[in-house]
Structure 1
Amino acid sequence: MTETTGTWLTQEAYDRLQQEYDHLVGEGRSSIAKEIDERRQEGDLKENGGYHAAREEQAKQEARIAQLHHILQTATVGEAATGAEIQSGTVVTAEVMGREMKFLVGSREVAGGTELDVFSAQSPLGAALIGKKPGDETSYEAPNGKEIPVKVIAAEPFSG
């Protein structure tokens, strides 16, 4: 697995996502199926807002199940990298377009309860920073085609 495929997760984040997945495929599916059945009993499905809302909720739940399944199947679980190079799991302080920013290169799923902004290793900024060290300068191409300069100020392992 390379740095730009899969998702890096702490063991805590992996366990939290696994618990959410297990709940959704078990109790969650049973609950929404029961809700749909109850709404179906109310009559005409064409004009039954409760039924349509329950079906929409089921679709959202199934999308989250698929997302969690993919994350859990492709995840790399472990501690944040401790070397000087930026990798998934590194908290970076950088000057981006002249403005200092502090963010996690990794997954929103890991940063869950923190105030950190998150850029995945696959994002233009994250990909530009992978392998860089404090003091390095790089750039990335923004969606509008503009080249954005970045200077790495500090890098430290994510600690939750």
Structure 2
Amino acid sequence: MKTNLITPEGYRQLQQEHDHLWHEKRPEITKIVSWAASLGDRSENADYTFNKRLLRQIDRRVRYLRKRLPDLQIVEYSPQQAGKVYFGAWVEIENEQGDIKRFRIVGPDEIYERKDYISIDAPMARALLGKQVDDEFSVRTPEGEKTWFVNSIEYCI
């Protein structure tokens, strides 16, 4: 089950996506479908077939967003979080081989198309929660147990 947490920025992005799809993209595609349908035989009409499929994808995403947005809980930064890893933190970690990773812990709805975000539901994020700079922690991976060290923690305010 997905966590219902989201950052304020993530919520705004989902809301903007919904608004763009509903107020701009859907009316545009609907016009194209209507125009293509007016040409007659729909079975051989590529414009009609393609745009009708696109319209279904838009409608599916809009339905998902309308259902998901009210369920999301926006997590604002709190000064009490300073110095420890919690939701919304930018974290830099390093392993014993010197490999460094930097990412932000966010909700599962925010990670798509971002290489520098991980979900709060990910094992790495779960292992990091509550840690401080210089803390050591372990994460179970398919290759076995991996040990990491926390180098830095930042929050976007």
Q: Structure 1-normalised TM-score?
A: 0.74
Aligned to 2:118: 119
Give the distance between the partners of 1:131 and 1:54, measured in 2 at CA.
48
Give the distance between the partners of 2:155 and 2:145, measured in 1 at CA.
27
Amino acid at match of 2:90: V
Structure 1 gaps, min length 5: none
SS where residue 48 of structure 2 aligns?
A: helix
Deviates more, 1:16-25 or 1:94-103: 16-25
Computing the radius of gyration from Cα coordinates, the structure with the larger value is: 2
Cα shift at 1:37: 1.7
Give the distance between the partners of 1:13 and 1:26, measured in 2 at CA.
20
Residue in structure 2 matching 1:51, options 48, 53, 59: 48
- 2:148 maps to 1:150: yes
SS where residue 47 of structure 1 aligns?
A: coil
Give the distance between the partners of 2:48 and 2:26, measured in 1 at CA.
15
Residue in structure 2 matching 1:41, options 31, 38, 42: 38
1:8-157 matches, within 5 Å, as 8-10=6-8, 12-82=9-79, 83=81, 84-96=83-95, 98=97, 99-107=99-107, 117-142=116-141, 144=142, 146-157=144-155
Structure 2 gaps, min length 5: none
Once the two structures are superposed, what CA deviation does each residue of 1:86-122 show, in whole Å capped at 9, x if it has no partner? 112100010147311111111487689xx87000101
What is the root-mean-square deviation of aligned Cα atoms in Å? 3.0
Q: Structure 2-normalised TM-score?
A: 0.76
Deviates more, 1:133-142 or 1:62-71: 62-71
Cα shift at 1:71: 4.6
Aligned to 2:5: 7
- The alignment-based identity, stated in percent, is 26
Deviates more, 1:133-142 or 1:69-78: 69-78
SS where residue 15 of structure 1 aligns?
A: helix
Give the distance between the partners of 2:111 and 2:123, measured in 1 at CA.
19
Tell me, yes or no, if the aligned pair for 2:111 and 2:118 is still in contact at 8 Å. Answer: no
SS where residue 84 of structure 2 aligns?
A: coil
Give the distance between the partners of 2:131 and 2:156, measured in 1 at CA.
16
Give the distance between the partners of 1:81 and 1:52, measured in 2 at CA.
50
Number of aligned residue pairs: 152
Tell me, yes or no, if the aligned pair for 1:104 and 1:119 is still in contact at 8 Å. Answer: yes
Give the distance between the partners of 2:71 and 2:127, measured in 1 at CA.
22
